[in-house]
């Protein structure tokens, strides 16, 4: 089976099949437009999405009256940073930006992928944080940049 477009997201539909298979992916795999995956029931599937299309947790790859195949993203090992105030947020964001560390925000929290050097930085700066396993809303993206210009 080759999937060329997503049929919706399980969080946005009431249309459910009686049997659900899951394709379990790491968050960075969501960025791949072309890949071969296997469901938790052993069915092999090819995914070939159009340009600028990405997968998300809960995406429905296939649905019919008996079965649906849904993307399930593994939790990421992240540092959840909880700055005390805007000054501390600015300081830590500046330091992480200088290291080109991609971040995401959920409410008042900043999420970055776990790295022992970042954890050490947070400890040394006295910034409140915890190390957690979380499903992130989107994959962490490294944006190419050079200081050579």
Q: Does residue 58 share a domain with residue 69?
A: yes
What is the maximal distance between C-alpha atoms in the chain? Answer: 57
Residues 8 and 60 in one domain: yes
As a whole-number percent, the residues of the chain with pLDDT over 70 amount to 95
What is the four-CA torsion angle of 26, 32, 36, 42, rounded to 10 degrees?
Answer: 30
Express each pLDDT in 13-53 by its tens digit: 887 788 999 999 998 899 899 999 999 999 999 999 988 88
Nearest to 28 by CA among 81, 62, 99, 76: 76
**Are 13 and 67 within one domain?**
yes
* Domain that residue 122 falls in: 76-134
């Amino acid at each position: 089976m080759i999937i060329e477009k997503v049929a919706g997201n399980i969080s946005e539909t009431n249309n459910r099949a009686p049997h659900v298979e899951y394709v379990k992916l790491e968050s960075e795999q969501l960025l791949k437009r072309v890949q071969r995956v296997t469901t938790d029931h052993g069915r092999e599937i090819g995914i070939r999405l159009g340009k600028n299309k990405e997968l998300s947790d809960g995406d429905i790859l296939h649905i019919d009256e008996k079965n649906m195949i849904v993307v399930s993203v593994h939790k990421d090992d992240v540092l959840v940073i909880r700055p005390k105030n805007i000054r501390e947020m600015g300081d830590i964001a500046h330091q992480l930006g200088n290291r080109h560390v991609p971040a995401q925000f959920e409410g008042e929290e900043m999420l970055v992928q776990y790295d022992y050097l970042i954890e050490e930085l947070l400890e040394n700066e006295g910034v409140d944080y915890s190390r957690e396993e979380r499903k992130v809303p989107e994959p962490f993206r490294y944006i190419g940049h050079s200081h050579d210009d």
